[in-house]
Amino acid sequence: MEINILPTIKMTDQDFLKFSSFIYTNYGIKMNQTKKIMLESRLQKRLYALKIDSFKTYFELISSTQGQNELLEMIDLVSTNKTDFFREHSHFDYLSHNILPLFIAKKAIRIWSAGCSSGEEPYTIAMVLSEFILKNGFIDYHVTATDISISMLQKGIDAIYGLDRVAAIPLELRMKYFLKSKNILKPTVRMTPEIRRKVTFQRLNFMDENYTEVTGSFDIIFCRNTIIYFDRKTQEQVINRLCRKLQKGGILFLGHSESINDLKVPLEQIRPTIFRKI
């Protein structure tokens, strides 16, 4: 049997400079020379799929008007989409015990999961809200979830997850908020319709100037483990844009390795990685 071995398509230093500069300018993701092999490996898949024989030709495609669909494919490949249900659990404890009680009298709350990946974060927020309401009374809530990756957004909309993805969720919550598939060969679960209706997914590029795609203002914004991929200048720009969408006194959650030290932003720290708009 003859085995077809695909030819290796190499990315030159000049190619890498073009791609890394383009990605930084348009999406804020900083790629130094150490990321060259990673970028080459990920993009080679698209070159093979499209039967393109050089990175130079591929760059010309994504830079063209005709290549906008392929540009979305490329961004899916270069963006990082690691996430989990109840990731950084202390944030959800703080949300439930320290923030939500303040909204019982207001009866309504709007939350934004910025950089939502495949939906685990916004659905975790929705479950926390639902549990709080069951014990403390009605609050009308909605979660807006945004990401740059079209494929991740679609996974969030579908709300279907492998059993390994939900294994760490307490059994009580799994029983209440997930439906089991009937496919015994590929067992999965899906968020219940009641929870899915509480989350709206839409695409957003953090490098956009005004975030006009996201309407209204929010009481709470989760933007965790996302700005870590930006340089400090871009981090400051992004956080200020987020703050324009945050109500006065509203809360911003960042990831455990992210900070606002030395950034000119209208925030004060109330806990590590938890900030209030001033």
Measured at the CA of 48, the angle between CA 8 and CA 80, to 5 degrees, comes to 95
Domain with residue 178: its CATH number is 3.40.50.150
Q: Which of 194, 195, 221, 187 minimizes the C-alpha distance to 206? A: 221
Q: Is the same domain home to 73 and 201?
A: no
Q: Is the same domain home to 248 and 271?
A: yes
Tokens of 201: 């997914």
Query: What's the pLDDT score for residue 76?
Result: 85
Q: Is the same domain home to 164 and 254?
A: yes
C-alpha 182/C-alpha 230 separation (Å) is: 42
Domain extent, residue 53, equals 13-78
Domain count, the chain: 2
Query: What's the pLDDT score for residue 158?
Result: 97
Question: Which parts of the chain have pLDDT scores under 50?
Answer: 1-5
For 1, residues 6+ apart whose C-beta sits below 8 A from its C-beta are none
Q: Is the same domain home to 74 and 142?
A: no
Query: What's the pLDDT score for residue 1?
Result: 43
How many residues make up the chain in this entry?
278
C-alpha 54/C-alpha 274 separation (Å) is: 46
Query: What's the pLDDT score for residue 156?
Result: 96
Q: Is the same domain home to 97 and 193?
A: yes
Q: Is the same domain home to 180 and 108?
A: yes
Using one digit for the tens of pLDDT, what is the confidence trace for 142-154? 999 999 999 999 9
Query: What's the pLDDT score for residue 7?
Result: 60
Which of 59, 78, 97 finishes a domain? Answer: 78
Q: Give a three-class secondary structure readout of 89-144.
A: HHHHHHHHHHHHHHHCCCCEEEEEEECCCCCHHHHHHHHHHHHHHHHHCCCEEEEE
Enclosing H/E stretch for 158: helix 150-158
